[in-house]
Amino acid sequence: MKEFLFFMDTPGIKKYIFESSSLKDIRGASAILDGLNRGWLLDKKKNPGEIYHDLAKKISGLSMSDFIFANGGSALMVLKGEEGEIQAFSNSMEKIYREKTRDAIVPVMAWTEYSPGRFQECLNMVHWKIRRHRTQRSIASFPSTPWAMFDNDTRNHRAECCYQTPGENQIQWISKISDARKKAAREERRVWEEFQNFLGHSIKSPESLESIPGNGSDDKDIAVVYADGNAMGMHIKKISSPKEYAEFSEKIDNASRKATFSALKEIFKGEANARFDIILLGGDDILVVLPPDKACDFVLKTSEAFLLQTQGKFSLSFGISCAKFHSPFYQMVEQAETCLKNAKSEKLPGVDFHVNRSGFYPDITSYRNQTMKKEEVRLTCRPFAIEEFKKYWETARKLKDANVPFSRMHAIACELSKGKIQGHIGWIQGVGRARKQEEKKSLIDLLACWESQNKSCDTIVPWTSLDKKLICGFHDILELYEFIK
């Protein structure tokens, strides 16, 4: 019998999970995909390796030689059999996904003949086939029924049933896809069970995005934090055997989970009800929603814990999007992902963040070009290296502790927006108008934040020189200042 390296990937994860703005529906969709990927949706008592072994045995003449991993929406294994049997296994996996997601998710699978000593070559081949399948897939078509109703949750899927809440006039229309999400949301998620086991006690997950800022909060802001591993692909290219890949995958997955759990446990210690939720957690991917004043601490603690779990060999980069709870959640995730890409493009490990004020701006790059880039100056130092970000966050905290009025900081920021000379004058006036010595000292100490970035001796405070342009991170401090309560 031949051996085949079999790879399965899940396209459209973000669209499926975030097309609804309801936190319960988001949780349900995430639970379905995680349960399918890791297999616990089929059998909660077995681990992923055992479940995939059982699925392979159901195909006559097929067996599994090596189970490598199943997390983060992907699965990799070595199967023994003929190509027709591999195709049958692929068909059975597709059927399971279609049934559980009501045809919303169809996995992409690829395989190639495998022999010991050719692992990296075979891995490259299945990755290439997966990319080809993704680009060549046909567009799904559905019956055209102009008179049909669409579901209230997404407005994307044809409704199959409806209900009316007692005492209300409005009829709620539900699609098969929405119904599956809602049923999954009513059951305890595996990731939440793991988190409660880590805590050692039960904790109630939030009912809605509105409850995350807390009942006593007036601003009702939430933050989406998206994290991803750095240089993981480079390390994978050096792996030479299934065993080595399995050990690496398990190590990274465990590190991500423990780092996330430990950070949340420390930050929200003593709170009876969770003001956060874990949306995605698998492989090196982390997506969490929480109050903005906790987001920066979560980033720093998770980064530190992940480094500790991996003995300093691997790191995470982060993107943060902050907006009102009623903002389009899918676009907040896209913003966080854009910030994550910015963070990974320059400094590793890195952090980038965006705070939406006076409206919601989906295109961060365009917004920054319009508001933070002038002819001679740049008004942001983002993205940051993780250590730079820590320094900025600590400085913002000191300003808050010194009770520096937000109005004074905002006035300085407005002057800096007018250019080099006016910004310099505005800075001096802003510091000079500080009534208390503690306020004045904390503003002067701000200069230490970007002093290390200064490559020129002929600049004037608070400007520094970087890449032949004057920059100032005061707007970054101002936005971080708003995170603190």
Cα separation, 278 vs 289, whole angstroms: 7
pLDDT at 195: 96
C-alpha angle 334-335-341 in degrees, rounded to nearest 5: 90
Split at pLDDT 50, 70, 90, the class of 435 is confident
Cα separation, 320 vs 233, whole angstroms: 23
In a domain, 149, yes or no: no
Cα separation, 102 vs 179, whole angstroms: 9
> Same structural domain for residues 349 and 220?
yes
In a domain, 153, yes or no: no
> Same structural domain for residues 10 and 126?
yes
In a domain, 151, yes or no: no
> Same structural domain for residues 394 and 462?
yes
Q: At what angle do helices 190-199 and 23-38 cross, to 10 degrees?
A: 90
pLDDT digits (tens, 9 = 90+) for 278-300: 999 999 999 999 999 999 999 99
> Same structural domain for residues 353 and 393?
no
Split at pLDDT 50, 70, 90, the class of 452 is low
pLDDT at 447: 64
pLDDT at 96: 97
> Domain of 256: which CATH number?
3.30.70.270
pLDDT at 140: 60
Percent of the chain whose pLDDT exceeds 70: 92
pLDDT at 147: 55
pLDDT at 145: 62
Q: Is the pLDDT of residue 451 over 70?
A: no
As a whole number, mean pLDDT of residues 458-484 equals 80
In a domain, 377, yes or no: no
As a whole number, mean pLDDT of residues 81-89 equals 96
As a whole number, mean pLDDT of residues 305-317 equals 96
> Same structural domain for residues 326 and 413?
no
In a domain, 468, yes or no: yes
Q: Is the pLDDT of residue 370 over 60?
A: yes
In a domain, 294, yes or no: yes
> Same structural domain for residues 433 and 313?
no
87-90 long-range Cβ contacts below 8 angstroms, 24+ apart: 88/59, 88/62, 89/6, 89/55, 89/56, 89/59, 89/62, 90/6
> Same structural domain for residues 352 and 204?
yes
> Same structural domain for residues 195 and 306?
yes
Considering its fold, how many domains does the chain have in total? Answer: 3
Q: Is the pLDDT of residue 109 over 90?
A: yes
> Same structural domain for residues 331 and 194?
yes
212 contacts 221 by C-beta, under 8 angstroms: no
As a whole number, mean pLDDT of residues 53-63 equals 96
pLDDT greater at residue 177 or residue 141: 177
pLDDT at 318: 98
Structural domain of 89: 2-135
Q: How many CA atoms lie within 13 A of 368 on its CB side?
A: 20
As a whole number, mean pLDDT of residues 342-364 equals 86
In a domain, 463, yes or no: yes
What pTM does this model have? Answer: 0.91
> Same structural domain for residues 285 and 399?
no
In a domain, 99, yes or no: yes
> Same structural domain for residues 354 and 283?
yes
Split at pLDDT 50, 70, 90, the class of 442 is confident
pLDDT greater at residue 270 or residue 14: 14
pLDDT at 471: 86
Split at pLDDT 50, 70, 90, the class of 453 is low
pLDDT digits (tens, 9 = 90+) for 187-236: 878 899 999 999 999 999 999 999 998 765 567 899 999 999 999 999 99
As a whole number, mean pLDDT of residues 328-340 equals 94
pLDDT at 329: 93
**CA–CA distances in Å: residue 444 to residues 258, 409, 416, 434, 460:** 39, 12, 15, 11, 14
> Same structural domain for residues 403 and 460?
yes
pLDDT digits (tens, 9 = 90+) for 144-175: 565 567 777 776 777 777 767 777 777 777 78
pLDDT digits (tens, 9 = 90+) for 380-425: 989 999 999 999 999 899 888 888 888 888 888 888 888 888 888 8
